Structure 1
Amino acid sequence: MQSQQRLLVVLAHPDDESFLCGGTIAKMSEQGVHITLLCATKGEMGRRMGNPILTTREALPGLRVKELKNACEELGISDLRFLNVRDKTIEFESFDLLAERIVKVIREVQPEALVTFHEKYGGHPDHCAIGRAAEFAYLNSGDPDFYPDPVFPAFKVHSLYFVLWHAFYDEWFKEYGLSRITEVDIAGTLQKKIRALRAHRSQTLAVPELWGNQNPSLPFLKESEYFIKGNSPTNIEEIDFFKTIERLG
């Protein structure tokens, strides 16, 4: 087991990390946490190619990978990996194969916490599909009989979190309340999040507020990010992912 705390983030597209949890990732990195981002696709089917146009449809995947690498530098993500699944097709991929590939990364990285999408509140078929596979991998990575690996032994992740997209916050709150929500204050890393979003130029040039004076009414530019607790105790108020781990041992 490594002495440095480790966080694995499993998402679907380049820019998911910046829009949904960029401030939290930057905050964790500032605290010395090692961040691994596992991105399922290269975003080749994204509707935006810049405004004005920056690239062609054929060249878009390469550009989006470059943009993601730049965003990772801003956020302090030191380990970027791809599953190389075709954009907008994750739901049609073999579920077992996806889960096995994520399990292998979990066992290699040995993270204390894993962040992904909720299968119901993902907001996009790719998001829901990768979240479902990542949760299944989380639940089974500690079982030595589940996809035995001669190199990396079974490893159980301590905590699971789902990004709570602003569009679904009210819906989740009405159904479950605050007991399973972790709110992370990102006031100190909001500017890093903004720089990471700007690194995704092909996708964010169409958001003029991001390039001028930041508009606080934009939900993804607020000073908090929210996560659904996948397994953490609901009676412990959390301000980041590792406080609960430290308290529980």
Structure 2
Amino acid sequence: MATTDPVSTTRRTLTDPADLGTVLGVWAHPDDEAFLAAGAMAGARDAGHRVVCVTATLGEQGTDDPARWPPRRLAAVRRLELRASLAAVGVTEHHLLGVTDGTCAAESFPTRVAQLCEIVEAVAPDTIITFGPDGVTGHEDHQTVSAWATAARGLSAPRARLLYATTTEDFVRRWSPWRDAFDIFLADGLPLTTPSSALAARFDLDDGLLDRKLVALRAQASQTTGLFAAVGEARVRAWWSTEAFVSADDVGRDERRVGTWRVAA
């Protein structure tokens, strides 16, 4: 069982992924982990720590061309993309929960939490990383996975550090001019504008970690090729050069953030 005291971790902002210890990431779709935590995972692995990734679904609805990419075909491709993406940051341990994309909220909450508890107990993480209650983008799958991970931590690793991915003021400022072209945020009030003073962890990625993150993102080609083509690598690097997290112990659930979206963003 992990021994990290969650109260003590809120008193300073972590800036080095090496301080995360054993990491368990819990995400909804392939590429969530790459955008939000690839640098953190790579840095933890470089420090010799175990990193395990959990993905609820294969994101088989994540296309605007379902005739070309029917769910079964896209799921097979995204499974391979995810494997390559994780390899780029040194992660070899992965668990797929097997949920159908877009249906997380319809799943049995106790069943999925119990499934996660088994993984948490086997990994004994020092740090669990996932979405916050807002789901970062407001996607219902993201919000539901956040709730599963939070419950599993409470039951199976209450002393583990639980970090929720968030968006900083810097990110919002850089991204705002492109909002109309990439309107991925599905609720009013998103993206969150989290001040630096509220962060439990902020990793400003050096060139080496950022290079690996870009490789991990490019590996998720079915989802990221259009982004790179539209805005260019330099802008993608700037947008995703910081990975920011708040402590779950400092976050109250805001029901205004909870949406009802079912289709993968």
What TM-score range do you get, normalising by the shorter chain?
Answer: 0.7 to 0.9
Aligned counterpart in structure 2 of residue 179 of structure 1, from 177, 195, 198: 198
State percent identity of aligned pairs.
27
- Structure 1 segments, 4+ long, off by >4 Å, are 53-56, 166-170, 209-213
Q: Which residue pairs with 2:23 in the alignment?
A: 7
Q: Report which structure shows greater RCO (CA 8 Å, sep ≥6).
A: 2
Superposed, 1:13-162 pairs within 5 Å as: 13-48=29-64, 55-123=69-137, 124-142=139-157, 156-162=158-164
Q: Which residue pairs with 1:239 in the alignment?
A: none
Aligned counterpart in structure 2 of residue 163 of structure 1, from 157, 162, 165: 165
Aligned partners of 2:135 and 2:146 also within 8 Å? no
- 2:193 partner letter: E
Q: Using structure 1 for the length normalisation, give the TM-score.
A: 0.76
Aligned partners of 1:161 and 1:230 also within 8 Å? yes
Q: Per the alignment, do residues 71 and 103 of structure 1 end up closer, same or farther by CA in structure 2, a change over 3 Å counting? A: same
Aligned partners of 1:48 and 1:203 also within 8 Å? no
- Asked if residue 192 in structure 1 is aligned to residue 184 in structure 2, the reply is no
Q: Using structure 2 for the length normalisation, give the TM-score.
A: 0.71
Secondary structure of 2:226 counterpart: coil
Structure (1 or 2) with the greater helix fraction = 2
Q: Per the alignment, do residues 15 and 36 of structure 1 end up closer, same or farther by CA in structure 2, a change over 3 Å counting? A: same
Matched pairs, number: 211
**What is the alpha-carbon distance in structure 2 between the residues aligned to residue 49 and residue 201 of structure 1?**
15
Secondary structure of 1:42 counterpart: coil
Aligned counterpart in structure 1 of residue 226 of structure 2, from 200, 206, 214: 206
- 2:133 partner letter: E
- Unaligned stretches of 5+ residues in structure 1: 143-155, 233-249
Secondary structure of 2:234 counterpart: coil
Aligned partners of 1:34 and 1:78 also within 8 Å? no
CA deviations 1:195-223 (Å, max 9, x no partner) are 00010111111123589542267522x2x
Q: Per the alignment, do residues 43 and 213 of structure 1 end up closer, same or farther by CA in structure 2, a change over 3 Å counting? A: closer
